Amino acid sequence: MGKFSRSWSLAKASMGVLRSDKELLVFPLVSTAVTLLVAASFILPMFGLGMFRDLEAQGGGMPAMFYPWLFCFYLVQYFVIFFFNTALVGAAMIRLDGGDPTVADGLRIARGKWPAILGYAAIAATVGMLLRALEQKAGFIGRIVIALVGVAWTVATYLTVPVLVARDVGPIEAVRESASLLKGTWGENLIGNGGIGLAFGLVNIALVLVAAGVVVFLATQQLLVLAAVVAGIALLAVLLLALVQSALAGIYSAALYRFAMQGDAPAGFDAVVLRDAFQRKM
């Protein structure tokens, strides 16, 4: 309960930053739209090229020609995600330093870092491909181990984007610094980010259950149009919550990196809360 309380405090402090700069929601919104377009541009041609038939012929395994296609997909998707996350974190850092950022400020920062972002995307795509290839050959226990490796990679690279924003370094050095910060300074238990995810997960579950109950009730009353309207509103609410969660995660990572490097808490953040958000390794 103490850890959850600290995480909730971090989420509220991050929400305060988001209330001050609601335009930060633009970055996850555009990122989601672009990633959907990228996914469509890769998936739709697969039908014309017969790749899904090849997958079925392989019994679920991937033919050799599928791997270059998948790598390109990973590379482009990761680049889009990291680009807009860099813009979000860059704008958040301006706010945490007392400035008043705009969407243009965040995009300017991301554009200036695009070579490093592309390199980081290539690293992430390579790791993703390796894990996917191993997963195809692993049994049940092996897949659990691979999933844990994936979680470890996510944890180790958690502060890579803030490092890229704050310093003029390449992607490999940024990944190393992120892993070093988390291992040597904060440990590996991301309580703060986990708390944000847990809080929004609970809200989403409650929203879906309530909306489903209302829709079912209206449907039994033959109020189908109203049921469809309620379902649509619920879907929009879920999407909005996802955008808010993504923005909060970016703000939190920016605040955490700033505190790790400077030792002081940004405005609206409790230094003790930030320090306790990660359990130091003994």
pLDDT digits (tens, 9 = 90+) for 219-246: 888 788 888 998 899 999 999 988 988 8
Q: What burial class does residue 198 get, using C-beta atoms within 10 Å of its C-beta: 0-12 exposed, 13-18 middle, 19+ buried? A: middle
pLDDT at 104 over 50: yes
Q: From CA 178, how far away is CA 150, in angstroms rounded?
A: 16
Q: What is the pLDDT of residues 171-203, one digit of tens each?
A: 999 999 888 887 654 543 456 666 677 778 888
Q: From CA 142, how far away is CA 278, in angstroms rounded?
A: 29
Give the pLDDT score at 25: 92
The answer to whether 56 touches 126, Cβ cutoff 8 Å, is no
Q: What is the pLDDT of residues 59-73, one digit of tens each?
A: 555 556 677 888 888
Q: What size, in residues, is the chain?
A: 282
pLDDT at 52 over 80: no
How large is the average pLDDT for residues 254-269? 72
Residue 224 token pair: 């189908």
Torsion-angle region of 138 (φ positive above 0: left; ψ -120 to 50: alpha; else: beta): beta
Give the pLDDT score at 282: 37
Which three-class secondary structure state does DSSP give residue 190?
coil
- The more confident residue out of 127 and 49 is 127
pLDDT at 90 over 90: yes
- Closest C-alpha among 85, 80, 81, 88 to residue 22: 88
Q: What share of the chain is helix, strand, coil (3-state, %, to 5)?
A: 85, 0, 15
Give the pLDDT score at 49: 60
Q: What are phi and psi of 152, to 5 degrees?
A: -60, -40
Give the pLDDT score at 132: 78
Give the pLDDT score at 200: 82
Of 87-91, 107-111, 239-243, the least confident:
239-243
Contacts of 122 (CB under 8 A, 6+ apart): 75, 171
pLDDT at 267 over 70: no
- CA angle, 33 as apex, 29 and 39 as ends, to 5°? 140
pLDDT band at 264 (very low <50, low <70, confident <90, very high): low
Q: Which residue has the tokens 């829709």?
A: 215
pLDDT at 99 over 50: yes
Q: From CA 173, how far away is CA 196, in angstroms rounded?
A: 28
